[in-house]
Structure 1
Amino acid sequence: MGSVSRVTATISTKRQIAARAVGVTKLYGEGEAQVAALRGVNVDLVGGEFTAIMGPSGSGKSTLMHCLAGLDTITAGEVFIGDARVDGMSDKDLTALRRTRIGFIFQQFNLLPTLTAQENILLPLAIAGRKPSQDWYDRVVDTVGLSERLSHRPTELSGGQQQRVACARALVSQPEVIFADEPTGNLDSTSGTEVLKFLQHSVRTLGQTIVMVTHDPNAASYADRVIFLADGAIVNELREPTADAVLDMMRRIDVRTTVA
């Protein structure tokens, strides 16, 4: 079996780039205690694709997502959402960017317990002082399959339904890219599959762009592309992945990092 080589994960395409990292380095600490979470990462994330980011614990996958989303600062390099350069933005501009151009889905559903499903879905737009497109809202609600549960509060919904509410909340503002951090981590296998199918459907049918951090090879198999990190660098990628192919790649990366 061939060794895993370090690669620059970029795509030559005429399709729009939804998010981009150029030579991104992220350092924590100083002196001898300094740790490099990311080491000169270059990656283009294409619009209308479902990308999964995987790697061993401590590989930098969550750090990369947080830097791409403007949730964390970078030490060196450049980060873009579309044509907007994120690094160096003021807090005010970052807040506006996250409200209008980025959606988030987290492992913890982060729903407000006093609000109904519908109110939770529309909350980001309400905070931004925007009204939803009725046609788009109807499409999103239909896609997540929650039209009969919109008046229910989170405690009246299953875990899978709560995460689908969180997915709809991320979609309703029609962001350029959605970042999902272990979105099935708190779900059983059946509910997790429902959410993954929804995310895949939202890309293929609604044209959404999704970037998902996961440790689960089965979850990654729903993506169009899987990027693998080790020691803060991109080391390989797969297109049209299967769970077995992802698992095999992870084993090879584990061997590589253990030997190193």
Structure 2
Amino acid sequence: METTGIAARAEGLWKRYGSGEAQVTALAGVDVALRSAEFTAVMGPSGSGKSTLMHCLAGLDTVSAGEVFIGSTRVTGLRDAGLTALRRDQIGFVFQQFNLMPTLSAQENILLPLTIAGRKPDMAWFDTIVDTLGLRDRLSHKPTELSGGQQQRVACARALAGRPAVVFADEPTGNLDSRSGAEVLRFLREAVDAHRQTIVMVTHDAGAASYADRVVFLKDGQIISELAAPTADAVHDQLKSLETSGDGR
């Protein structure tokens, strides 16, 4: 597989849970390459394996067979210390639940991964992120003093603060109203367009997926189609086709 300009990739990726008759196959021989400076959405019916794929790519879950790479680093060969360093230095995460530290201010939350890593923040980059996300007047606020949309924007800023090779976003708008969700998606889009960031987003929302450059569709643990330059209508039609062609696992 050509790897130039590839931020993350999986080759022959299998993930099984349990054993014997109770064994469940979540991923069945997935091959996928996620290009640098591109916004990729991962979609599929409930239980299709989309979150499992993201967790395996990000080194949050072990694989049953196959290989995963972040850039040129073989994730599947790393021990715990190597995985910790990889996730700290090369990967950013945005989760549906925000996962902010309640006792820290917004600024402290944004800089927390760098603080833990003992890395000095690039304050010019920090200022760019904060101003792009409209968080300048919220930096001293604790999470409980912020709206859901503001908390998720803080989480996005935290994910990007260290300039990671790739940001994985798991249903980042799932807990937001439509206006706040659109703000977060516009920022992710701008992070790709203006700052050459690489974003991989799992979502069930066709509107959210329309912000991406490419949508990868899974069903029964396999990639069955892709869609470039997606529109919400085209994504919706593809999802409807998947769901009516048999139940996803």
**TM-score range for the pair, normalised by the shorter chain length:** over 0.9
Larger mean Cα displacement after TM superposition, 129-138 or 38-47:
129-138
Of residues 122, 140, 147 in structure 2, which corresponds to 1:151? 140
5+ unaligned residues in a row in structure 1: which ranges? 1-9
Identity of aligned residues (%): 68
The 1:259/1:238 distance shift into structure 2, 3 A limit, reads closer
Q: Does 1:205 align with 2:189?
A: no
Given that 2:48 and 2:248 are in contact with CA atoms closer than 8 Å, whether structure 1 keeps it comes out as: no
- TM, length-normalised to structure 1: 0.93
Of residues 5, 19, 32 in structure 2, which corresponds to 1:30? 19
Distance in 1 of aligned mates of 2:248 and 2:39: 32
| Stretches of 4+ aligned residues off by more than 3 angstroms | none
Question: How big is the shift at 1:88?
Answer: 2.5
Partner of residue 51, structure 2: 62
Distance in 1 of aligned mates of 2:132 and 2:8: 25
Given that 1:51 and 1:226 are in contact with CA atoms closer than 8 Å, whether structure 2 keeps it comes out as: yes
Of residues 172, 181, 206 in structure 2, which corresponds to 1:217? 206
Given that 2:203 and 2:209 are in contact with CA atoms closer than 8 Å, whether structure 1 keeps it comes out as: yes
Q: Deviations over 1:83-102 (max 9, x none)?
A: 00001310000000000000
Structural mapping, 1:23-172, within 5 Å: 23-172=12-161
Larger mean Cα displacement after TM superposition, 244-253 or 136-145:
136-145
Determine helix, strand or coil for the equivalent of 1:148: helix
Given that 2:45 and 2:248 are in contact with CA atoms closer than 8 Å, whether structure 1 keeps it comes out as: no
Question: How big is the shift at 1:120?
Answer: 0.4
Given that 2:28 and 2:221 are in contact with CA atoms closer than 8 Å, whether structure 1 keeps it comes out as: yes
Given that 1:116 and 1:152 are in contact with CA atoms closer than 8 Å, whether structure 2 keeps it comes out as: yes
User: Aligned AA for 2:152?
Assistant: Q
Q: Does 1:242 align with 2:225?
A: no
* Count of aligned positions: 249
Given that 1:143 and 1:202 are in contact with CA atoms closer than 8 Å, whether structure 2 keeps it comes out as: no
The 1:114/1:254 distance shift into structure 2, 3 A limit, reads same
- TM, length-normalised to structure 2: 0.97
Distance in 1 of aligned mates of 2:67 and 2:5: 18
Determine helix, strand or coil for the equivalent of 1:174: coil
What's the C-alpha RMSD, in Å, of the aligned pairs? 1.5
Determine helix, strand or coil for the equivalent of 1:257: coil
Distance in 2 of aligned mates of 1:144 and 1:206: 14
The 1:231/1:136 distance shift into structure 2, 3 A limit, reads same
Q: Does 1:185 align with 2:167?
A: no
Distance in 2 of aligned mates of 1:158 and 1:167: 14
Of residues 165, 183, 186 in structure 2, which corresponds to 1:176? 165
Partner of residue 7, structure 1: none
User: Aligned AA for 1:30?
Assistant: S
Question: How big is the shift at 1:149?
Answer: 1.1
Determine helix, strand or coil for the equivalent of 2:138: coil
Given that 1:228 and 1:234 are in contact with CA atoms closer than 8 Å, whether structure 2 keeps it comes out as: yes
Determine helix, strand or coil for the equivalent of 1:251: helix
